[in-house]
Structure formats: C-alpha cells, structure tokens
Structure 1
Amino acid sequence: MTFMASMETTHGGYHFQHYTRERLNEFAREGGYVIVPLAATEQHGPHLPVNTDTMICDYVTRKSIERVAGRMPVLMAPILSIGCSEHHLSYGGTISYSAETYHRVLADVATSLVKDGFERIIFLNGHGGNHQIMTQVAQDTAVGHDVWTVAASYWNIANTALGGTDASGVGLVPGHAGGFETSLVMAICPELVDAGRIQSGHPVNSWARAEGYYMGRHGLITGRDGYSDSADQASAEKGQRYLDTIVGSVSDWLLELDKTIRKAEGGTE
C-alpha cells in the first residue's frame, strides 16, 4: 500500500511533523502536496488575543484538509505563527520578523521542502502583512526549481462565497480585529474574547477597501487605535457561518488546484 493510500488510517493523520523521514520521503516521491500555513502573533485591538490570525489560519487549514481527505494527497506543515507584523509593533503585544527576514524565512522553508523532494508546495496565508512577501517567495521558488508553487490568502479564495453571506455587514472583510475576525474567534474559542472591551462606533478609514492597488499611511495601516472597525455586531453564530463558507471555498480550491496540475502534467482529471 502506498503512503497516500494509507495516510488516513495511520496515526500521523495529515500533520507533516507526525511522520518519520522515510514516510515523508515516500509521500514526496508519490507527488503529495504540502500546505504551509502562514499566520502571525500580533496585537488585535483591546478585545482579541494576539494569536487571532494563527487560530483562524490553523482552523481553516485543518478543516479544509479534512474535507479533501481521500480525494487529494496533502499534508499540513507546522504553522508559522510569527509573520511580518512590523506595522503593529507600536501597540505592543506583537512579535514580528522584518520584511527582509520573513522573505528569507519563507524562502528557506520552500527550499527545505524542495530539497526534501516535494514538488507541490502551497502557502496558505492568514495575515495581511504576509501576503506580498509570500507571493514573491512562491514565484521565486517556481523560477528557481522545477516544482509547483501556489500562494493565497484565505479571504481572497473565499471572497466570492463570503459575498453571499452577511459578512460585509458585520465589518470589513477580513479587516483587523473588527466584526469579521471577532466573529471567527467567537466561534473558535469564545473564552479568549474580552467582550467587555468591545466598543461601538469605531471610525473606519474610508480608503481601507481599496482594490487593485495599495494605499496606506503611517500610524493608520492597522486602523484607528490598531483595529479596523467595531466588533459590536460580531457573534459566534455569524463566525461559524463565515468559517464554514471559508473552509468550503478553500477545500474546493484545493481540489481544483489538484485537477489543474494533474491536467497540466498530462494526467487524467
């Protein structure tokens, strides 16, 4: 029995770190995918924990892999819980790599996986400050090595599907520590939300929804007082609905990626 055929029944499940080198080498030889989840440890306003992005990215990655189990071979690498969050440092409660260091970290992770024999590497991101760096590293890796690389942030994958929910009514999507992210955390781990610190009427930067270009200003990149919008309309029920929508979109996206790559390589769909 191949590694791919047996992985669901083994004790290791889909976690990269639970396998021996021999099993991982076998998985790589069989053309398996590795998802590298990217997150952050940074301030999320006065009411959310600093591991908000890590918590959400971990949930989305795990649940999406569970949904595609048996239909495509994929492992989840250890989540990178520190990202590029320099724009949050002035508020405290933040651990960050500089942009230059983070680029090197992701490049080293990708190179390690290539040297391990993996030819299908996916970066799945849960923090806005990581996005451009992640995309550049994915491109550089594909230019320098004969491998497939993919990079995306979960909210971009799920953008259309989230548009069919009330997510935009609860706050900016994804925003930062606003109604959307607060709803997600309320659904995943409600005891970590300091609901007594949630305020209404938080000002929203009108230019924060800019699409197709970047716009920012020193001190305002993270939103007023370090968060993008009020979370007073957030709820666990809404959060679970958004999470289900995101997981559905990401799992469908993964299956489509596999189909596209197999077709490009001359295989069957």
Structure 2
Amino acid sequence: MTTHRLAELSTAQIARLDKTDAVAVQPIGAIEQHGAHLPVITDALTAEAISDRAIAALGPDSNVWMLPTLSYGKSTEHLGRAGTIAMSAATLISVCMDLGRSLAASGFRKLVFVNGHGGQPNLLDMVARDIRVETGLEVFPLMPGRFPLPEGIEPADPHYGIHGGHIETSIVWSLRPDLVQMEHAVKDGHVLGEIYAGMRHLTLEGAVPTAWVTDDVSASGTIGDPTAATREVGDKIVESQVATLAEVLTEIRAFSFPEVALPEVR
C-alpha cells in the first residue's frame, strides 16, 4: 500500500487487509476557542498530525491505519466563546459507538482513539469499554498530551497551563506556524492559585476536581502562559510524542487479551 489513510483505500482493498493484527487509529479533537493566538482547530490539528507522523514512521507494512479525523468534540466548557462548536456527551458517545460498530462489521479487531482535547479523556475511557463489551474490539483511548515531556523541557505554567499555554502553543507553533498569532498571546488563568489558596483537597482537576467552565477562570480564554512558548520547544515535544506514539501503536498491534475459560455455572 502507498498510503496509511484507510479512507483512501477501496472497499476491496480494505476487505483484503489482514485484520488479525490490523490497528485502526481514530484521531479525535475539538473545535473550540484557544484564546486570541491559536486556531479553534488546535486540538484536532494536533491529534491528526501526531497520529499521521507516527503511523508514517512505522513504514508501509505496519498494518496501522488512520481514519479521517473526528474534529468536533465535547467542548461545552468553552461554549459562548466565538468559534466553539461542541458536541454533547450523548452525541459524542453515540458517534464513537457507531464508529466501533462499523469497524467491527468490517472485520477490524483493534481501535485506538488518539485524543487531542483535554475535556474528553473520561468520556473516551468510558465509551472505549462500552465498545469493547458490545463489539469485542480491543479499544485503546490515549492522549499524546499526557506523554512525558522530553528531558530538559519544563512547562512555564505547571500549575495552570491546561489550555493554550506554554506547551500547547509551542506544539502548534511547530506544526502550523502560519496559524499562531503570538502578538495576541496573553498569560491568563493564573487566578487559579488564588482560587484554591488554602484548600487542602480541592483542585481544578485532580483527586477532588471542580466542574469548571472557561469563564470561571479566564477572561481571555487562555489558561496558561503562551508568552513563554517557542517553536524550538514545540519541535522537541512533537518529535517525542510522535516517537512515543509509534512505539505504543507497535505494542497495540502485538497485544491481545488471552482467552479465559469461564467457570461452569452449577
């Protein structure tokens, strides 16, 4: 095959693929505001680019196939900000379930969600198990943004940089510098340090999280410090995420659950 994009194959070509270890990769992101300096397609863009590069790095015989990116996601925390187009949780769950059913009907056995949006890992964890139960597919929800940073790189906003901050801005700057408007980048969201000051257990996201929307913590829409971003940092992070994802996809292709003999019911 000269492509790793499944949608570029014919139905006959897909039917002939060896499904015993074929891996279908679904990049999924969001269309949502990312402050005044980043495009609303940021999450979908990063999920697609990291997936595309990782699969390409595996070579033409990898039997790992990228599906068309699901650009919309559950972005209700950003509703009301211009350009945000959000699915409800129920809608996104239904879309993912239909995706799993369709892949299973085509003979696939492994599905990977490569997620670029921090607002939906819990939803994807849940729907992955439901797809597993209903279709038998082995499903792997993952987020490159949670991979370890390369050695020597530390976020400038470690306690509040969760949206359009130092790391995310650097990544987009690496992938699509033409879409980054650094002259509009502003530090915001650091009010979180004041909001949770003196709290022993409560955090924005953690063991005792707080349900939040952007308007609770940011005027600009940014939650982090994009002014610290550089393209060089982004290049290093992208290279690291691509390499790690390629390794993960190789492991997923080789992985399978053993068949367990269930005890007889007496």
Task: Confirm or deny a common fold (TM above 0.5).
Answer: yes
CA distance in 2, matches of 1:195, 1:130: 27
CA distance in 2, matches of 1:212, 1:43: 27
Match of 2:41 in 1: 51
CA RMSD of aligned residues (A): 2.5
Equivalent residue for 1:60, pick from 45, 50, 63: 50
- Is the partner of 1:53 in helix, strand or coil? helix
Q: Determine if contact 1:200/1:230 at 8 Å carries over to the other structure.
A: yes
CA distance in 2, matches of 1:36, 1:213: 30
Match of 2:200 in 1: none
1:53 Cα deviation from its structure 2 partner: 0.9
- 5 Å-filtered alignment, 1:139-218, equals 139-156=129-146, 158-159=147-148, 162=149, 164-169=151-156, 175-200=162-187, 203-206=190-193, 210-218=205-213
The 1:153–1:247 alpha-carbon spacing in structure 2 relative to 1, beyond 3 Å, is: same
- Same amino acid, percent of matched pairs: 26
Q: Say how many residue pairs are matched.
A: 252
1:248 Cα deviation from its structure 2 partner: 1.4
Pair 1:251-2:241 in alignment: no
CA distance in 2, matches of 1:192, 1:70: 30
Equivalent residue for 1:101, pick from 65, 72, 91: 91
- TM-score (norm. length: structure 2): 0.85
CA distance in 1, matches of 2:140, 2:227: 36
Q: Deviations over 1:212-256 (max 9, x none)?
A: 453233445674532211211101111001111111111111222
Q: Determine if contact 1:17/1:78 at 8 Å carries over to the other structure.
A: yes
Match of 1:137 in 2: 127
1:60 aligned partner, one-letter code: I
Task: Give structure 1 regions of 4+ aligned residues with deviation exceeding 4 angstroms.
Answer: 170-174, 218-224
- TM-score (norm. length: structure 1): 0.84
Q: Deviations over 1:73-106 (max 9, x none)?
A: 1000000011111111111211111111111111
CA distance in 1, matches of 2:42, 2:204: 21
CA distance in 2, matches of 1:219, 1:191: 26
The structure whose Rg is larger is 2
The 1:138–1:182 alpha-carbon spacing in structure 2 relative to 1, beyond 3 Å, is: same
